[in-house]
Amino acid sequence: MEPIRTLRSRTAVLAMSDVDTDQIIPARFLTTTTREGLGKHLFADWRYGADGAPRADFPLNRPQAEGCAILVAGNNFGCGSSREHAPWALTDYGFRAVVSTQIADIFRNNSLKNGLLPVLVDPATHRWLLEHAGAEVSIDLESTTLTLPTGQVARFPLEPFARYCLMNGIDELGFLLGRDRQIAAYEARARIA
Amino acid sequence: MSATAQTLFEKVWRAHEVVPESADTPAVLYIDLHLIHEVTSPQAFAVLRQRGLRIRRPQLTFATMDHSTPTRTEQVFAGAPVAIEAAARQVRELETNCGDFGVELLHLQHAQRGIVHIIGPELGLTQPGRTVVCGDSHTSTHGALGALAFGIGTTEVGHVLATQCLLQRKPRTLAINVNGTLPAGVGAKDLILAIIGRIGVAGGTGRVIEYRGETIRALDMDGRMTVCNMSIEAGARAGMIAPDESTFAYLAGRPRAPRGEAWERAVERWRRLPTDPGAQFDEEVRIDASRLEPMITYGTNPGMVMPIGGAIPERGGDPVFDKSLAYMGFAPGQSIREHPVNVVFIGSCTNGRLSDLRLAASLLRGRKVARGVQMLVVPGSQQVKREAEAEGLHRVFLEAGAEWRESGCSMCLGMNGDLVGEGQYAVSTSNRNFEGRQGVGARTLLASPLTAAACAVRGRVTDPRELM
């Protein structure tokens, strides 16, 4: 995984709350056996009309949303299923961070493992971001802060180990494999053979 | 109050700490049972191959196929072509992966195959005090037996395959205390829908719920599984119910449950699992079951739910709420009772067990599905199907005009082509009424098996108590 220390981008805004993983990537696209190529199906049922043409009124289809790496979403983003296809689709599309006031547990875990930053901000910062689509913001992992173009700085929580892994490009599997001695000792205690 | 008093969750968590959490690192948690299926495992096996890894404990991983498998008998048993070829390819990849890595797999025609969350308990694989994970959010179901069970993503599926462990931060605890007798016509599904309506779809985020109280104790195991199943719809990491005599009676004699002396020792161990008197939860909620009514959803998340005779609330100026109602074709203040219904689906990991089918059949017996309504009954496992047929339930469904299928996830998420048409209204015993979940443009009303059956008979949204 590529190390991430800072991220600077304009924002795309999807103001709806409780956006579930069935909207992020509908189940009919889960028959794939690889991680790649899901970006074209991201938000498929909101993004495209019945004829397959992009819907002009969907925020990601607006010209100013092109190239945005930060998605600002309503409260409780990513609720629903455990499908990791959701962060795969978001990163394949080009997003590197999702900003909200609450992000569902499994989606947040899956995002952290795919270099997609879940950024939880306070309601006032969130409201400002929702009202200023296209604002250029920066996210810094060292200080775990998000800075608005107004200069206002919002601190966000990030589990220290996940932050360490993201900043150093370390994947958790390597860390777990390195605990082989402790795992073997547990198995001996629990009589797992 | 004792300082050492522990909750059920804490006991299971601590017993599985390979390395406890610290400020810098999450806990390394050992996983006793890993269930896999065709949709969320292929990319995890690909990582094992890339890195030259083997499965650490293949005997602790167990595979089935359910999400994208066909439910038509000729497709399951006679090789008739399936609706979606990509789904068939995914199933073949699971067969290859399980063969290459030595994982036991219940193949498409296996007599024990079924939805992963139905067969875990049914086979006795799910046991009190175990840690259970699966690449599926409804893994919370298994908590009904006193296991700590939660859904994980595909990267974590790979972690468990390679190390039998996960890195986890300890969640907070939420006790939901339910007391009072459920009125006639009101069951476990209505109870969990009412709970989600009360705490909201994000009310359980970061928390493990323990369902407690006399109403929970009085539920049979199928009902407890329905309740725990939908914990994730409240955003919770997991839902748990303390094991008791009902749990032991359910597990006794199941194929993978301990036997003889090992059974006696296991039950002795399981009796120590319930939350100690005086143990503290981070939060508590109280629910009076005696005041509940049959529940039905009206919107596009499970928290948008009301008593079946109620009116859709008004939330002036909330554009998300209005958008949801527009998708559903409903308006604020409207009652949806008597609203026409096109499809009725009985099944899924929420309500695809024998007692669910019995409830639906009790209402359908001697009656017909209304003209123009498609009713699909999909048992949760092949064993549920056999047991239902032994009781003659399939004849009740078939004589009423419903379809009787082979087991699988089916119309809950429509991956296998069992779909609800655009703009159609489906009363479904499944767990999610998200936009497009059951088909592009499909409108889902979540309800209990009794309510779903009543809606099938009348062809309209119907309070089941009218037909009881």
Same domain, B159 and B193: no
Query: Which residues 130-169 on chain A approach chain B with CB closer than 8 angstroms?
Result: 159-161, 164
Tens digits of residue pLDDT in B296-305? 999 999 999 9
Question: Nearest by CB to A105, which of B42, B90, B235?
Answer: B235
Determine, for residues B153 and A175 on separate chains, whether the beta-carbon distance falls below 8 Å: no
Q: What are phi and psi of B460, to 5 degrees?
A: -145, 160
Determine, for residues B46 and A34 on separate chains, whether the beta-carbon distance falls below 8 Å: yes
Find the residue in A nearest to B150 (Cα).
A106
Give me the mean pLDDT over the B164-168 stretch. Answer: 98
Q: What is the pLDDT of residue A35?
A: 94
Determine, for residues B86 and A32 on separate chains, whether the beta-carbon distance falls below 8 Å: yes
Residue B260 tokens read as 């003889």
Same domain, B120 and B229: no
Total number of domains constituting chain B: 3
- Least Cα distance to B213 among B175, B183, B186 occurs for B175
- B276: exposed, middle or buried (Cβ count in 10 Å: 0-12, 13-18, 19+): middle
Determine, for residues A84 and B155 on separate chains, whether the beta-carbon distance falls below 8 Å: yes
- B449 close to B354: Cβ distance less than 8 angstroms: no
In a domain, B261, yes or no: no
In a domain, B3, yes or no: no
In total, the C-beta contacts within 8 angstroms joining chain A to chain B are 174
Same domain, B164 and B176: no
- ipTM of the complex, rounded to two decimals: 0.97
Residues of B in contact with A45 (CB under 8 A): 435-436, 440
Q: How many other C-beta atoms are found inside a 10 Å radius of the C-beta of residue B427? A: 29
Question: Nearest by CB to B434, which of A23, A102, A109?
Answer: A23
Same domain, B111 and B131: yes
Q: Tell whether A174 lies on the interface with B, counting CB pairs under 8 A.
A: no
Percent of chain B with pLDDT over 70: 99
Give me the mean pLDDT over the B111-126 stretch. Answer: 98
Same domain, B311 and B442: yes
Residue B70 scores a pLDDT above 90:
yes
Final residue of a domain: which of B126, B153, B168?
Answer: B168
Residues of B in contact with A160 (CB under 8 A): 23-25
Tens digits of residue pLDDT in B171-212? 999 999 999 999 999 999 999 999 999 999 999 999 999 999
Determine, for residues A31 and B39 on separate chains, whether the beta-carbon distance falls below 8 Å: yes
Question: Nearest by CB to B18, which of A23, A32, A179?
Answer: A179
Q: B179: domain CATH number? A: 3.40.1060.10
Find the residue in A nearest to B55 (Cα).
A177
CA B430 to chain centre: 8
Question: Nearest by CB to B18, which of A82, A177, A182?
Answer: A182
Query: Measured between CA atoms, how close is A77 to chain B, in angstroms?
Result: 10
- B380 close to B415: Cβ distance less than 8 angstroms: no
Same domain, B45 and B160: yes
Q: B417: domain CATH number? A: 3.30.499.10
- Least Cα distance to B351 among B461, B432, B458 occurs for B432
Query: Which residues 87-126 on chain A approach chain B with CB closer than 8 angstroms?
Result: 87, 102, 104-106, 109-110, 113-114
Residue B402 scores a pLDDT above 80:
yes
Determine, for residues B163 and A179 on separate chains, whether the beta-carbon distance falls below 8 Å: yes
Question: Nearest by CB to B135, which of A80, A82, A183?
Answer: A82
Find the residue in B nearest to A50 (Cα).
B440
Same domain, B416 and B340: yes
Determine, for residues A83 and B153 on separate chains, whether the beta-carbon distance falls below 8 Å: yes
- B427 close to B369: Cβ distance less than 8 angstroms: no
- Does an H or E element contain A111, and which? helix A105-112
Same domain, B157 and B205: no
Determine, for residues B202 and A75 on separate chains, whether the beta-carbon distance falls below 8 Å: yes
In a domain, B255, yes or no: no
Same domain, B221 and B364: no
- Chosen for mutation from A13, A19, A30, A108 (greatest number of chain B CBs closer than 10 Å) is A30
Final residue of a domain: which of B133, B168, B203?
Answer: B168
Question: Nearest by CB to A186, which of B18, B151, B155?
Answer: B18
Pairwise pLDDT comparison (B2 vs B244), residue with the higher score: B244
Q: What is the pLDDT of residue B3?
A: 60
C-alpha dihedral over A187, A191, B4, B5, to 10 degrees? 110
What mean pLDDT value characterizes chain B? 97
Amino acid code (one letter) for B117:
H
In a domain, B300, yes or no: yes
Q: Each residue's pLDDT tens digit in chain A (193 positions)?
A: 789 999 999 999 999 999 999 999 999 999 999 999 999 999 999 999 989 999 999 999 999 999 999 999 999 999 999 999 999 999 999 999 999 999 999 999 999 999 999 999 999 999 999 999 999 999 999 999 999 999 999 999 999 999 999 999 998 999 999 999 999 999 999 988 6
Query: Which residues 19-58 on chain A approach chain B with CB closer than 8 angstroms?
Result: 20, 22-23, 26-28, 30-35, 45, 50
Residue B160 is part of which domain span?
8-168
**Domain A6-189 listed as CATH 3.20.19.10:** yes
Final residue of a domain: which of B168, B193, B210?
Answer: B168
Three-state SS annotation for chain B = CCCCCCCHHHHHHHHCEEECCCCCCCEEEECCEEEECCCCCHHHHHHHHHHCCCCCCHHHEEEECCCCCCCCHHHHHCCCCCCCHHHHHHHHHHHHHHHHHCCEEECCCCCCCECHHHHHHHCCCCCCCCEEEECCHHHHHHHHHCCEEEECCHHHHHHHHHHCEEEECCCEEEEEEEECCCCCCCCHHHHHHHHHHHHCCCCCECEEEEEECHHHHHCCHHHHHHHHHHHHHHCECEEECCCCHHHHHHHCCCCCCCCHHHHHHHHHHHCCCCCCCCCCCCEEEEEEHHHCCCEEECCCCCCCEEECCCECCCCCCCHHHHHHHHHHCCCCCCECCCCECCEEEECHHHHCCHHHHHHHHHHHCCCCCCCCCEEEECCCEHHHHHHHHHCCHHHHHHHHCCEECCCCCHHHCCCCCCCCCCCCEEEECCCCCCCCCCCCCCEEEECCHHHHHHHHHHCECCCHHHCC
Determine, for residues A34 and B42 on separate chains, whether the beta-carbon distance falls below 8 Å: yes
Determine, for residues A183 and B56 on separate chains, whether the beta-carbon distance falls below 8 Å: yes
Q: What is the pLDDT of residue B178?
A: 98
Same domain, B431 and B328: yes
- Chosen for mutation from B172, B320, B418, B443 (greatest number of chain A CBs closer than 10 Å) is B320
Q: What is the pLDDT of residue B290?
A: 98
Q: Tell whether A1 lies on the interface with B, counting CB pairs under 8 A.
A: no
Determine, for residues B26 and A102 on separate chains, whether the beta-carbon distance falls below 8 Å: no
Residue B1 scores a pLDDT above 80:
no
Determine, for residues B152 and A106 on separate chains, whether the beta-carbon distance falls below 8 Å: yes
Find the residue in B nearest to A112 (Cα).
B155
Give the global pTM.
0.97
Determine, for residues B163 and A18 on separate chains, whether the beta-carbon distance falls below 8 Å: no
Residues of B in contact with A113 (CB under 8 A): 153, 155-156
- Least Cα distance to B247 among B146, B131, B351 occurs for B146
Residues of B in contact with A116 (CB under 8 A): none
Same domain, B177 and B315: no
- Least Cα distance to A21 among B432, B168, B192, B42 occurs for B432
User: What does DSSP assign to residue A73?
Assistant: E
- B390: exposed, middle or buried (Cβ count in 10 Å: 0-12, 13-18, 19+): exposed
Pairwise pLDDT comparison (B316 vs B261), residue with the higher score: B261
